[in-house]
């Protein structure tokens, strides 16, 4: 799947606006173990554990590159002989104006070995994203020309809010709206609808240098109609380490 013209425009504009030459690059990363990997309210690990990791290179101009990976269930791409890994790559530009932090970029979702195998379906896809954050609140949008499994155009709109409850515990909240370009035969929701909501409510703290999170994550009844238990709300526990 080729990047759309809009995707290329975002990348080129980010690089040109940032002036990436002659500046320092720093790196950061993390590893995590989670009891269930849910993406937009739907389990990608068949309600089982997942191992995840990321590495980010940050240019002091605001340009950054991130590689993120997670184990997934064989059923996640319906290619049981090839599935088992998701690798995402992001190229973006983050900057601040006044008290507001902005972030724009393009993201590639990759499922190594799963594309064009037994049923000629391409699972990997691209998204262009943008967000604005201030005072613990964040709103964002992501757009895809052809979503996961070649299910057509897709729009994701979300809002996050995080606040420190005290000097040890933080509260995080999330709600997202998943909108498909549905012609009545949408493959992602099985034709049941063209949109659904996902949500998350979590608490996290730091213990011995590790971030420990307990969260309740899931999707609404529309997603449950297609994905059953994979979209049910459930408790998810995650331990991560940043470096």
Per-residue pLDDT tens digits for 66-106 = 999 999 997 777 655 556 899 999 999 999 999 999 999 99
**Looking at residue 20, what is its pLDDT?**
45
> Which residues have CB under 8 Å from 129's CB, separation 6+?
92, 103, 104, 105, 106, 107, 140, 141, 142, 143
Q: Which long-range contacts (CB under 8 A, 24 or more apart) does 157-163 make?
A: 161/136, 161/137, 162/136, 163/136
Does 155 score more than 60 pLDDT? yes
CATH of the domain at 133: 2.40.160.40
Range of the domain at 191: 5-242
Distance CA 71, CA 52 (A): 7
Bridge partner residues of 195 (DSSP): 179
Task: Write out pLDDT tens, residues 182-238.
Answer: 655 566 787 668 899 999 999 999 999 999 999 999 999 999 998 999 999 999 999
pLDDT score at 6:
53
The single residue listed with the structure tokens 């690990």 is: 45
Indicate the number of domains in the chain: 1
Query: What pLDDT sits at residue 182?
Result: 66
Answer whether 0.75 is exceeded by the pTM.
Answer: yes
Q: How far apart are CA 70 and CA 84, in angstroms?
A: 9
């Amino acid at each position: 799947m080729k990047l759309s013209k809009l995707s290329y425009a975002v990348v080129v504009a980010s690089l040109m606006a940032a002036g990436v030459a002659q500046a320092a690059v720093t790196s950061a990363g993390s590893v995590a173990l989670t009891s269930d990997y849910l993406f937009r309210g739907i389990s990608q690990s068949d309600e089982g554990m997942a191992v995840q990791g990321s590495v980010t290179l940050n240019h002091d101009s605001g340009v950054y590159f991130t590689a993120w990976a997670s184990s997934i269930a064989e059923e996640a791409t319906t290619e049981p002989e090839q599935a088992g890994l998701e690798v995402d790559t992001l190229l973006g530009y983050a900057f601040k104006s006044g008290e507001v932090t902005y972030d724009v970029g393009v993201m590639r979702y990759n499922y190594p070995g799963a594309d064009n195998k037994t049923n000629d379906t391409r699972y990997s896809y691209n998204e262009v994203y943008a967000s604005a954050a201030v005072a613990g609140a964040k709103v964002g949008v992501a757009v895809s020309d052809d979503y996961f499994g070649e299910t057509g155009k897709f729009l994701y709109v979300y809002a996050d809010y995080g606040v420190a409850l005290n000097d040890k515990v933080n509260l995080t909240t999330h709600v997202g709206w998943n909108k498909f370009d549905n012609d009545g035969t949408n493959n992602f929701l099985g034709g049941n609808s063209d949109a659904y909501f996902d949500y998350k409510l979590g608490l996290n703290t730091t213990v011995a240098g590790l971030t420990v999170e307990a969260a309740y994550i899931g999707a609404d009844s529309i997603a449950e109609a297609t994905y059953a238990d994979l979209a049910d709300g459930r408790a998810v526990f995650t331990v991560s380490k940043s470096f």
